[in-house]
Amino acid sequence: MKHLTTRRLAVVVTATVGLSGAAGIAFAAGGSARSSGPEYASGVDNPFADASAVVHVVHTGNGRTHVTLHVWGVDAQPGRVFGAHVHQLPCGTSGADAGPHYAHGGATGSLEQREVWLDFAVNVAGVGHAEAKRPWSLDESSPRSVVIHADPTNEAGGAGTRLACIDLDGQP
């Protein structure tokens, strides 16, 4: 099991809006490491500008991965569904910096089974939860991130605009 680390990240809204105060999206990677942020929240009316979250990535003893995402403080209509995925690269100053979705090289099955999808619906309190269990270990040898998207994930893996990004710790 990993030890706990903490890192604070800033929220960048857009060049026209400027730098916003730090929100509180937190992330915990494999075993348990934490960071907070989001690294960015794009758009003027971003429902994640003042949100917080915790993500846990747990590697089980049998080579499996269990990822959970908890978000709160989301300013969105109850029932709205957002897509969220593990991405190949760390966060940057824009959504594109996180690169494409992480896909496990040896995984088989549907696209969702080869990637980590964490779509969630927001309740009346602005809270959402998602989890994904995979029969393979998430490769954290390179920095990765979790990106929250504006729309639910479709069969082709698309989920719309990248609204927020949380860096994974990347420490094995």
Which pLDDT tens digit goes with each residue over 56-102? 888 888 889 998 888 999 999 999 999 999 999 998 888 889 999 99
Mean pLDDT of 127-140: 93
Contact 152, 91 (CB under 8 A): no
Q: Coil, helix or strand for 127?
A: coil
**Contact yes or no for 11/21 (Cβ under 8 A):** yes
Instruction: Tell me the pTM.
Output: 0.78
Q: Token pair of 56, please? A: 């846990």
3-class SS of residue 114: helix
The yes/no answer on whether domain 11-167 falls in CATH 2.60.40.200 is yes
Residue 41: band (very low, low, confident or very high) from pLDDT cuts 50, 70, 90? low
CB atoms closer than 10 angstroms to residue 97: 17
- Quick: pLDDT tens for 92-129: 888 889 999 999 998 999 999 999 999 999 999 999 99
Residues 42-56, mean pLDDT to the nearest whole number: 79
Reference 69, options 27, 113, 101, 110; nearest CA is 27
